[in-house]
Each structure stands twice: as structure tokens, then as C-alpha cells.
Amino acid sequence: MKAPVISSWFRTGDVTAPPDIESAALRSDRFRLEREGDWRRLEDILSRMERGSLRRITDEELLELPTLYRTAASSLSVARETSLDRATLDYLESLVQRAWFQVYGPRQGLFTWLRGFFLGGWSRAVREIWLDVCIALFAMVAGTIVGWLLVSRETEWYYRLVPTQFLDTRVPGASREELLQSLSVQENAQGLSTFAASLFSNNAGVAIMAFALGFAFGIPSILLLIHNMAVLGAMMWLFAGQGLELNFAAWLSVHGTTELFAILLAGAAGLHIGRSMAFPGNRSVLDAASESGRRSALVMTGVVIMMVVAAFLEAFPRQLIGGMGERFAIGGTLLVFWVIYFFVFNPPDRGGAE
């Protein structure tokens, strides 16, 4: 056995890298050299865009930007698969993220989006689903008629349709005075804020259900609209039996013109998605659902706002204003406002709120 040479322990010569490490380093260098030109060009364009120097970017560079982004993303994918060095991966991940925000990222702030939403985007989305609005309106009218006819033929249907929360004095056989008392005003506004919050929660639940069930080809949304309006038809029958149909309509109109309009739009938005999935046309089902989903989401954003307004109206003006004329004036004004806003107000599309 050969004895070790002690002097070799203190030798300061170069350490030879193992063959596999050397091969990986060469592969990484070759990969970088072959693509680094495109990366640097993309980085140069991004740096100028991030500094706000858009005037210094030519049309050719803007057209070239998506191609350079896809090239960098492809390079990142290859780098991850081949386990290249950490520095190359970090550089490519940062470069691809910056490029994504410039190519696909949002280009407008919250206030710009809100301005586009209220000044045309919301009403435009509602008009684009006009057919579904008509179908949902037909279902709601039919539900009201069905509710009225059912309870007029058999009183027991009233207890099956109307929720227990409305079965205080508002039941078949109640006197005219008892029904009038249920439509009366409160003496002060104490506790009405909590009442408004609970009303918003309940109404929003109905609207969200009407929207969410639309994914099952819209059929559950139609059934839900019919059921909810059957409750209204049954209660209209009850008050009409005592000659209080106008009083009930005035009481309901204060918040109902906003609340029922919101439920109508929610049902139409859900039906729009279900109908586009059932009849996608030349598009794939996924593309049709995606396109209608974006449009319906815009409508539903407005529905939430309408529900907040309806809860406020139901909790305060409806409980504090007792005159039939005043109640009709509030409800009628809001109904006219919503109709004009959605179907008459049509500013030019400036590309916001999409």
C-alpha cells in the first residue's frame, strides 16, 4: 500500500469540477447565449414602458412585445424543465412577470373603472342581455299570476307559499284594520339601521341564488323567480280581498321597484349564462360561458348596488312615510330612473368597465 504524501494536502492548485457540473454549466451558458438577445430587447422595451416613456416606443416595438413575451415565457418553461442555474431562473421569472403586466395587466385604476361602470358600462351590459331580461320578466309576471290564482282557488295555498315571517296578521281572514295596521309607519327611526342590514342580507341571498342557479341551463333561475313572485301574488290577493290593493301597491313600491328590478336583472344574468351554455352557437361551451360570465358579472355588480339602495328604502322611507301618494311618488320615480338609466341612457363606449 502506497503511503500518502503529506505535502499534497497543502497544494493550492485548481480544483477540477466534476464532469456533470461542468456539463450543466456549459448547457446553461449555451441556453442563455442563444436567447439572451431577445431577453435584453424585451427588458429594454419594458424598462421604457415602466418609466412612462411611451412616446419613445415605436409601433414596431409594440407589435413585437407580445412575441418577445411569449419567447421569454417559453424560455422560462424550458429553464425550469432542464433545471438551469438559479440566477437564470430568477431573471426569467422577473422578466416574464413584468412583461405580463404590460401585455395583459389592467390599465386603469379603480376610479377610472367606476366612472366607466356607472357612465355606460353597467347599462350597456344590461342591454346586451335584453332577451334574458324579457324571459325573466315573463317568468316573474307569470309567477305573480300563478300565486294569485292558486290562493284564490284554495286558501291553504297561501300558507304553503308565503314564508312564516309574513304570517303575523297578514293571513286569510284578517280584518281590513289589521291589514292596514301592517302597512302603517313607525314613530321613529330607532333600530332601522339593523333592520336595513338584515333586509340587504335577505334580498342579496335571493338575487345571488337567482344568478348562481343559472349555470344549470337557466331552468332553476326561472323556477326561483316564479316561486318568489308567487308569494307576491298571494299577498296581493290577500290585500285586494279587503279593497287595499292600492295601499299595498304603494307600500311595496317604495322599495319594490328597485328590489324587484334587481332580482329581475340577477335572474336574467344567471339565465344568460345558462342559455349561452345550452346554445353556444359557433363557439365552444367554455368560450360561450366565459364571455357571458364576464357580461353577467358586470350586471351582478350593479345588482349588489341596487340591493343596498332597496334595503335603505325599505328600512327608512317605507317605514317612516305613510301617505299613499308619497309612497307612489318615491317608487315611481325610482322605477322611471332605472328604466331610463338602463334602456335610454346610452353614452359612447370608451372602453372602461370591462
- State the Cα angle at 307 between 179 and 198, rounded to 5°: 60
pLDDT of residue 34: 80
Q: How far apart are the first and last CA of the chain?
A: 82
pLDDT of residue 42: 87
Contact (Cβ atoms closer than 8 angstroms) between residue 324 and residue 276: no
Which residues are CB-contacts of 316 (< 8 A; sequence separation ≥ 6)?
A: 189, 192, 196
pLDDT of residue 1: 46
How many angstroms separate the Cα of 42 from the Cα of each of 8, 49, 59, 221? 51, 11, 14, 49
pLDDT of residue 341: 94
CA-to-CA distance for 300 and 316, rounded, in angstroms?
24
Residues of the chain with pLDDT under 70: 1-27, 53-54, 83-84, 105-109, 186-200, 350-354
248-289 pLDDT tens trace: 999 889 888 998 999 999 999 999 988 888 888 888 888 888
How is residue 108 annotated by DSSP? Answer: S
How is residue 11 annotated by DSSP? Answer: -
How is residue 7 annotated by DSSP? Answer: G
- State the Cα angle at 250 between 137 and 344, rounded to 5°: 45
83-94 pLDDT tens trace: 667 777 888 888
In single-letter form, the type of residue at position 325 comes to G
Continuous H helices in the chain: 19-50, 59-81, 86-103, 110-116, 122-128, 130-153, 156-161, 176-182, 192-212, 219-240, 245-278, 285-315, 317-320, 324-343
In single-letter form, the type of residue at position 60 comes to E
Other CB atoms within 10 A of residue 313 CB: 23
Question: Nearest 10 degrees: CA dihedral of 100, 104, 105, 106?
Answer: 170
Contact (Cβ atoms closer than 8 angstroms) between residue 307 and residue 203: yes
Contact (Cβ atoms closer than 8 angstroms) between residue 118 and residue 345: no
Other CB atoms within 10 A of residue 51 CB: 9
Contact (Cβ atoms closer than 8 angstroms) between residue 221 and residue 267: yes
In single-letter form, the type of residue at position 157 comes to W
